[in-house]
Amino acid sequence: MALISKRASIFFIFTIVLITTHAYADCRGCCNGHGGTVCINGTTKCADGTELSDTCSNKGCDVCDEQESTNNPKTTIKIASFNIQIFGKNKASEPNVIKTLAKIIARFDVVAIQEIREKTNMAVTALESALEALGENYDYVIGPRLGKSNTKEQYAFFYRASVLRAGETYTYKESGADYIHREPLITQFFSKKSTFDFVLINVHVDPDDVDQEIAFFPEIVADAQKRLGEEDIMIMGDFNADCGYFDEDKQIKLRDERKFKWLIANQLDSTVAKDSCAYDRMIVTRSMAKKFTGKAGVFPFDIVYDLDVEPKEISDHYPVYAVFSYNVADTLSQSRFVVY
């Protein structure tokens, strides 16, 4: 009953707009008697102005995205972050789980993954193989095993090899005080289709020290800017930045709007559980914000896909995502946020 209630909440609280990467949903039958699907002012509707049904929206029917991709397929980069809860041999060995994870990853051009928990890289190689089985060519970079407790975790970035090239990758090293439980994995990416390049900082904040770790993030960003000579930077991942762990309205350095822009809004829910918590976040420097299209949100895989397993067998987190373009004006419209 909890799952049904959560789905109903998502339907009625948020606008449901699905994005896809290469394969778009079959929209046939969605507008029978209403003139077929068209893109009206950036929103997919029936030709007579009728709104799409929930069924059609949930299928991922978005001809505006399809039209944009067909007319100019190289203008956007779709970036996501996904905490794949306890991602190790058990999940990688379950065919339905690893196939679903691959389908989720394939919707985006680069995905930051947190909570990889196994020593042999079996899980990430299984995910790469599952992507190849879908006809997708993804490469990945993976960091060292980290953590102050006996439970160690790794970060990784999976990226579409035809779209992006990975540059320098390193794990942030603190000097002096030890504030961070799992030091971020930092990678520079270069678009193969444009001059757009950027740096992604992958983090998983310890729930017992959220305030301390998040307060240190601006220094991590500054370090990456200095080391890599790059101003377009995103810090992303599982911040545990909501509910009982963090006051999301607290004024901190990372909330300085002159320097940073938060792309995942406080009211979003990035958890599969009944409680609504925006744990997962994506924050960009003002330079990178100029490339932001205004499209950002949460991808609720349990609603989009007809799962053969319980949603929590995939993860207890939803992926969060944002879309960027190298032809976007500096002025950003908050009203264009895409949320589920």
Three-class SS of residue 78?
strand
Catalytic residue among 66, 128, 183, 204: 204
Asked if residue 195 lies in contact with residue 326, where contact means CB atoms within 8 angstroms, the answer is yes
Strand intervals (E) in 172-217: 185-191, 197-204
Tokens read off for 113: 């993954």
Helix and strand totals (H; E) in the chain = 10, 14
Note the helical H segments in the chain: 2-13, 54-58, 63-71, 89-92, 95-105, 122-133, 210-228, 286-289, 301-304, 311-314
Residue 75: closest CA among 288, 325, 332, 330: 325
Q: Annotate 226-274 with DSSP letters as a single string.
A: HHHT---EEEEEE---SGGG--TT---GGG-TTTEEE-S-TT---BSSS
Burial-class residue 18 by CB neighbours within 10 Å (0-12, 13-18, 19+).
buried
Helix axes of 122-133 and 95-105: crossing angle, nearest 10 degrees: 70
Could you give the CA distance from residue 219 to residue 254 in angstroms, rounded to a whole number? 10
Residue 325: closest CA among 47, 69, 18: 69
Examine the residue annotation and report whether 204 is marked as an active-site residue of this protein: yes
Catalytic residue among 153, 183, 213, 230: 153
First to last CA, the chain: 20
Could you give the CA distance from residue 105 to residue 148 in angstroms, rounded to a whole number? 29
Examine the residue annotation and report whether 310 is marked as an active-site residue of this protein: no
DSSP secondary structure code for residue 24 in this structure: P
Tokens read off for 90: 């058990």
Three-class SS of residue 330?
coil
User: Known catalytic residues?
Assistant: 153, 204
